[in-house]
Amino acid sequence: MSRKVIKSVTNLYDKKIERLAEVPDEKLPPLKNNKELKYIGRGISRIDGYDKVSGTAVFTFDKILKNMAHARILRCPHPHAKIRKIDITKAMNIKGVIDIITKDNTEKIDWYDGDTFIFDEHLRYQGDEIACVAAENEVIASMALKKIEVEYEILSHVTDKMTAVKEDAPKLYDWGNISPDANPAKYNRGDYEQGLKNADQIIEEEYNTQFVIHNPTEVHCSTVDWNGDHLTIWDSTQGIFAVRNSVAAALKIPQNKITVIKKYMGGGFGAKLEAGKYTVMAALLAKRIGRPVRITIDRKEMNLAVGNRPDSYQRLTVGVKNDGTLTALGMTMYGAMGAHRDGAGCQWPLRSLYKCPNVKVEEYHVAINTGRSRPFRAPGHVQGTFAFESIIDMAAEKIGMDPIEFRLKNYAEVEANWEIPWTTKLLKECYKQGAEAINWKSKRNKKAGEGKGPVKRGVGMASQIWWGTGGPPAYATVKLNRDGSVHVLSGTQDIGCGTYTILAQVAAEVLEIPVERITVSLGNTDEHPYGPSSGGSMTASSVTPAVYDGALQIKAKLMSGASALLGVREDNLVYSQGVIYSKDDKNKKKSIQEVVRETHEQILVATGARNARPQGVMLNSFGAQFAEVEVNLETGKVKVLKIVAAHDIGRTINRKLLENQFHGGIIQGIGYALLEERVIDHYTGKVLTTNLHNYKMPTIKDAPEIEVIIVSEGDDQISAIGAKGIGEPAIIPTAGAIANAVYNATGVRIRTLPITPDKILNQVYNIG
């Protein structure tokens, strides 16, 4: 099984991502057919279950080192200011304060692609970093924060994107407030104006979506320790290699002098994909004081400073013929990046969900005086899909067509942006099975809001497309011990989704040994081969094929070892359940333990690689969600009764974990649709929702019945495993489906998320 190095190309948004990667030279042998699979596809319990239910799992938040100091960050209370002077004298005099770093006593270190520094004197949002204190404990550190005296020059601020784009708005940067990367970002396909002329109906609508915060349960935190010139970082991160590389660059030290470790972490959802300033600060402090440092941020900082889904204003135009054919799609959108550059767009659902020859998009990404946006579970697609699938629902109604029929009428058979076929696309099947499961025909009101009485019911649906599907480079090492037990190692992370378990399943499948004999170790930049960051629904689809390759290599080694030991040619041997037999003489056999022992090996080692992505085809996951809701028009309350999620996500590796991922994504989608919102007082520029008291996430009582239907089998053009990825698809269509269901129930169309009781009553009673 030879290897080759290729330039792997992935289309992601309008970017072509090119990376060199070593991949298997040939297509790997396929998996057995489904019925014969013993581990892959089964609902195997988590192999890390014990640590989690017993509280013995050590998260980064729990990492304690001897003689450790505790660090806390002083943050700017104003939305926009310059530092005139910082005086740390009083704070330093507090007993137990060890050290304080600020812009005055540290070097300038570039951060956020050169937009700012670790400590900048220009503070661009409430929560911008000013100083970092190391103390004997957190209480003292917090006390010291209050004693640091900062003199500010208060600057005028702007916290609303539509104000920020006005000429006289206060500016955050030399380049103004609109990102040079998107002023506007344009896309044109066909002839949009002509497309509108060809339309029988033109629908134009405005939508707004809110900022939401990831709020994983474990806060962002690191514990760092220098040993001579070597730095070890325990970090609650979705990307250990990303952290290693950023910190190495920031501190100007070689990458081999840094080890980043992450074992268990309490969620991330995109907020923990990059290194945080806090980690660099902790490393600086630890070096200065010669002690390990633990740094944590609190829930308020979580809600101010470590990322959010950007908001959006979207003006959408749909041109449609009376027979249902889409002739033109137009979008002008503004999204707030927060105080530093980051993507804030959401055009992709509109560009790729349906067939439409004429498309025009303009996006403006706007800087405002709030914390910076970060990718949040399906960045862009969640905002975009809500608005686009809402207007599609309206278009269908306008021409008197059932929404599903309308979607089928405009079904894209080839990818519309590049005009290439998909490896697999089973969206039709999602519509069909989903509609059946929710009882679409009988539950849908013919006329929106036609139900009697103040409590109305209705159903609605929305579709989804996502990237995912993974790719190289991704590697995994498989080690077989003398006793037949196995280690699987990869430098990716399990952020809660169950990566530990599914990797064990793949190794178990190939080597035909029980999952209990397999240990999986992830999240160490020194000890593990490179694995991808855990984001974009790419971990399973990238790493499982690498484990597959590694395990196949081990099997090949075992076969050649057995061949030598038994004196039987390899093609005359069969491998079954960890024993290798001669085809001719079943008594001639060696167990894998015997092969390792008798060939005088201690362990067999092989490193597997993820195969190349197929070229000339497009890879996406698809799905449709259906919502049934109940709306009380007396109080305006919306209750989601049921969600059916029908998706094409390639192969299911573990049904239990897959369902979990779907449920979690859908509940976050319900939070997005109905509850969650970061609220800013634009006058003071301050965030009003800085705790879980005011930032409401769904509880067990808000969870409706959820039915998950997987319409797909493994997509073997993607990899031998054939998984597409599921983390993101789960959340994308939920809000759109709910909004459309609310309309079907009540006749009230809510165009601004979240759909709160006041918005419903305001429309029903025409107030506000």
Which residues of the shown chain bind ligand FES in the complex (CB under 6 A)?
217, 266-267, 496
375 is a contact residue toward another protein (CB under 8 A): no
* Total site size for another protein, rule CB under 8 A: 82
Binding mask 703-722 for another protein (x = CB under 8 A): x--x----------------
228 binds, among another protein, ligand FES, none (CB under 5 to 8 A by kind): none
What values do phi and psi take at 308, rounded to 5?
Answer: -160, 160
666 binds, among ligand FES, another protein, none (CB under 5 to 8 A by kind): another protein
Kind and range of the H or E element at 244?
A: helix 240-251
Burial of 398 (0-12, 13-18, 19+ CB in 10 A): middle
Cα(508)–Cα(577) distance, integer angstroms? 10
363 binds, among another protein, ligand FES, none (CB under 5 to 8 A by kind): none
Which range in 72-80, 352-360, 580-588, 666-674 contacts another protein by CB under 8 A?
Answer: 666-674
Only one residue has tokens 């037949």, namely 484
Cα(181)–Cα(116) distance, integer angstroms? 17
188 is a contact residue toward another protein (CB under 8 A): no
CB of 636 to another protein, least distance (A): 8
Q: Could you give the 3-state DSSP secondary structure of residue 401?
A: coil
For residue 335 the two structure tokens come to 């999204």
CB of 615 to ligand FES, least distance (A): 38
List the one residue from 20, 151, 634, 752 that touches another protein (CB under 8 A).
634
Q: Name the residue nearer to another protein (CB basis): 262 or 425.
A: 262
53 is a contact residue toward another protein (CB under 8 A): yes
List the one residue from 390, 563, 689, 744 that touches another protein (CB under 8 A).
689
Cα(716)–Cα(713) distance, integer angstroms? 9
Cα(740)–Cα(462) distance, integer angstroms? 8
50 is a contact residue toward another protein (CB under 8 A): yes
**Single-letter code of the amino acid located at 635:** T
Q: Please state whether beta strands 573-576 and 518-522 pair in parallel, antiparallel, or not at all (unpaired).
A: unpaired
- Are 358 and 236 within 8 A, CB to CB? no
List the one residue from 321, 597, 656, 682 that touches another protein (CB under 8 A).
656
Only one residue has tokens 């450790």, namely 68
Cα-based distances in Å from 506 to 276, 471, 714: 33, 17, 14
Q: Name the residue nearer to ligand FES (CB basis): 144 or 502.
A: 502
Rounded to a whole number of angstroms, the CA Rg of the chain reads: 27
Q: Please state whether beta strands 258-261 and 230-235 pair in parallel, antiparallel, or not at all (unpaired).
A: parallel
List the one residue from 3, 4, 27, 49 that touches another protein (CB under 8 A).
49
* Helices 655-670, 734-746: crossing angle, 10 deg rounding: 50
List the one residue from 215, 238, 317, 370 that touches another protein (CB under 8 A).
215
CB of 677 to another protein, least distance (A): 9
CB of 379 to ligand FES, least distance (A): 20
Residues 498-537, interacting with another protein (CB under 8 A): 498
Kind and range of the H or E element at 37?
A: none
Q: Name the residue nearer to ligand FES (CB basis): 184 or 267.
A: 267
CB of 266 to ligand FES, least distance (A): 6
Q: Name the residue nearer to ligand FES (CB basis): 111 or 500.
A: 500
Only one residue has tokens 């309308």, namely 406
Q: Name the residue nearer to ligand FES (CB basis): 77 or 267.
A: 267
137 binds, among ligand FES, another protein, none (CB under 5 to 8 A by kind): another protein
Nearest alpha-carbon partner for 239 in 62, 17, 474, 501: 474
CB of 660 to ligand FES, least distance (A): 9
Cα(570)–Cα(595) distance, integer angstroms? 14
55 is a contact residue toward another protein (CB under 8 A): yes
Residues 112-141, interacting with another protein (CB under 8 A): 137-139
95 is a contact residue toward another protein (CB under 8 A): no
288 is a contact residue toward another protein (CB under 8 A): no
CB of 53 to ligand FES, least distance (A): 11
Instruction: Please name the residues in contact with 327: beta carbons below 8 A apart, sequence gap of 6 or more.
Output: 195, 196, 198, 199, 319, 320, 321, 356, 357, 358
Burial of 114 (0-12, 13-18, 19+ CB in 10 A): exposed
The DSSP secondary structure of 301-316, one letter per residue, reads HHHHHS--B--EEEEE
43 binds, among ligand FES, another protein, none (CB under 5 to 8 A by kind): another protein
Cα(521)–Cα(113) distance, integer angstroms? 32
728 is a contact residue toward another protein (CB under 8 A): no
The shares of helix, strand and coil residues in the chain, as percent rounded to the nearest 5, are: 30, 30, 45
Q: Name the residue nearer to ligand FES (CB basis): 267 or 578.
A: 267
121 binds, among another protein, ligand FES, none (CB under 5 to 8 A by kind): none
For residue 528 the two structure tokens come to 């593990």
CB of 562 to ligand FES, least distance (A): 43
Residue nearest to ligand FES (CB): 217
